[in-house]
Structure 1
Amino acid sequence: MSIPCLGRVHDRRAVAWESSGVSERRRLPRRYLVVAAFVFVVAASERFGGPLTVDALRGAVSSGTEAAADQLRDRNARGEIHLTFDDGPTPGYTAEILELLDRYDAEAVFFPIGEQVEPNAALLERAVDDGHRLGNHTWAHDRLADLTAWDFDAAVGRTQIAVERATGTVPTCLRPPEGVIDDAAVDMAAAEGLTVEMWTVDPLDWQTDDPDAIARRVIDGAEDGAVVLLHDGGGGRDATVDALGTILRELGRDGYRFTVLPGC
């Protein structure tokens, strides 16, 4: 039987060393191995509060493996990416997106259109149950500029009520349609308890039917804290769904985690 020793994997290496005339590397004396084993047993016994049983040894190996895996994940982590979906919910597309997010253990924020909330309440309830967050994208994709307080309430306040009635949750973030919002609307949003959330990566998925182009734009723009604008409504979204699988797979492989946008 070969005895593992420092700097060697198998006794055949020792034979190779000896045959090559390398005498500096010698088998570690057996007494050193005995001492090392004794130290290991004592340390393990102290760690687990009792004698080193087979179960305790297995626990030590398992604990060490888990700790190593955690360290590896931390070392490989590239950062967090925040996926957001506007203009939904839409039967079919939103459901497919939810399935992909679940498959890749990813979190996202959905910014629904108010008038689409009640007819598709089950999709939003599922999103909440899956750990995603809901924002506010106005009642009918309204432009948030030059609005009276009444207009703002009809566009944003009405959507707040619809989402709460459908899901029991109250949105805390607002996504202005087309990114248009003036200072007065920002102030009115703050009065409603809403932060205004924009994006940093726009793959223009509403402009193209090419999933590869959508995925490439997102992957190229990926960085820690990136906020990705995607759509689960407002038109055909087959390309977005196809691109999302690639985005989740490739960026996940690169060490990114998909988490909820902090303001939501």
Structure 2
Amino acid sequence: MSSRRVLAELGLGVGLLALTAGLTIDVLSPPGKADTEKARTVVTTAMLQAARTDNRCTRGRVALTFDDGPDIYTPQVLKVLRAYGVRATFFVMGQKAAVRPALIRAEVAGGHLVENHSWSHPHMADLDQAQIDWQLTATQRAITAAGAPAPTLFRPPFGNTNTTVDGEAKLTGMRVIRWSIDTADWRGREPGDIAASVLDQVVPGAVVLMHDGVRQSAATVQALPTVIRGLRARGFCTALATD
């Protein structure tokens, strides 16, 4: 057995013990995680005062999606979405949902979708079937325990999947979904560059990947009003990933 597989199985076992004990532990987390830091306040009064909620679909729908939360910047993302009357889709990590169940409930209360993004953000295709099943089902339990409906969508971390992952997702009641526009916001890009990456590539039916759960998510919050206004100025309405 490879050392990588041994470490993965050890991590999953420790994570399961933590879940059953009502605790959480950082296992195989993605780089750039934000959960040990303090959020900067980047939502301003001026940002919210400029918000409009009109959402005409003259050119088509665009889904705004957020990965790797719930985390320290999720409340500010939710504040901007509420001001602009936007519903979005949050692909959440199970270990973070277990720590911040109130944010899961806030996402649901805002009319957003809460979907599955694995327990600890591993490369899913590197895992065996039992490990894949654990990543999916443990996350489902954490999300429903927090008060959200059982997810019907699974976004594999890094977009890394195979037929086994796809099959296990289907058995768990989910279909696999990726994205069509990657803002690469986790790389530390400036807000203007994040917004431009969306507005320069947008087409009807686009699914936009952003992050509310990494340390660079402050820039995503700052970019979000420009993204929303720019989409609507171009005739696109914002919609849930399943609309």
Contact 2:88 2:113 in 1 (8 A): yes
> C-alpha offsets along residues 64-123 of structure 1, whole Å, 9 cap, x if unaligned?
xxxxxxxxx9987121100110001112x1111111111111111101111001221111
Q: Name the SS of the counterpart of 1:135 in structure 2.
A: strand
| CA–CA distance in structure 1, aligned partners of residues 143 and 57 of structure 2 | 38
| 2:63 is the counterpart of 1:85 | no
Matches within 5 A, 1:133-148: 133-148=113-128
The aligned residue for residue 187 of structure 1 is 167
Question: Which residue among 149, 159, 176 is the counterpart of 1:169?
Answer: 149
Aligned letter for 1:94? T
The aligned residue for residue 101 of structure 1 is 81
Taking only aligned residues, the RMSD between alpha carbons, in angstroms, comes to: 1.7
Higher helix share: 1
> C-alpha offsets along residues 182-235 of structure 1, whole Å, 9 cap, x if unaligned?
111101111111100000000110112300000001011111100000000122
1:151/1:79 Cα in 2 relative to 1: closer, same or farther (>3 Å)? Answer: same
Segments of 4+ in structure 1 off by > 4 A? 73-76
Aligned letter for 2:146? A
| CA–CA distance in structure 1, aligned partners of residues 64 and 101 of structure 2 | 21
The aligned residue for residue 221 of structure 1 is 201
Higher relative contact order (CA 8 A, sep 6+): 2
Q: Normalising by structure 2, what TM-score?
A: 0.74
The aligned residue for residue 179 of structure 2 is 199
Q: Which runs of 5+ in 2 are unaligned?
A: 1-53
> C-alpha offsets along residues 8-55 of structure 1, whole Å, 9 cap, x if unaligned?
xxxxxxxxxxxxxxxxxxxxxxxxxxxxxxxxxxxxxxxxxxxxxxxx
Contact 2:55 2:238 in 1 (8 A): no
The aligned residue for residue 27 of structure 1 is none
Q: CA deviation at 1:158?
A: 0.4
The aligned residue for residue 96 of structure 2 is 116
**Rg larger in structure:** 1
1:75/1:208 Cα in 2 relative to 1: closer, same or farther (>3 Å)? Answer: closer
1:244/1:75 Cα in 2 relative to 1: closer, same or farther (>3 Å)? Answer: closer
1:76/1:97 Cα in 2 relative to 1: closer, same or farther (>3 Å)? Answer: closer
Q: Name the SS of the counterpart of 2:194 in structure 1.
A: helix
Q: Name the SS of the counterpart of 2:69 in structure 1.
A: coil
Aligned length: 190
Q: Normalising by structure 1, what TM-score?
A: 0.69
Q: Name the SS of the counterpart of 2:186 in structure 1.
A: coil
| CA–CA distance in structure 2, aligned partners of residues 75 and 113 of structure 1 | 32
Aligned letter for 1:90? D
Contact 1:106 1:257 in 2 (8 A): no
Aligned letter for 1:238? A
Contact 2:55 2:237 in 1 (8 A): no
| CA–CA distance in structure 1, aligned partners of residues 141 and 168 of structure 2 | 16
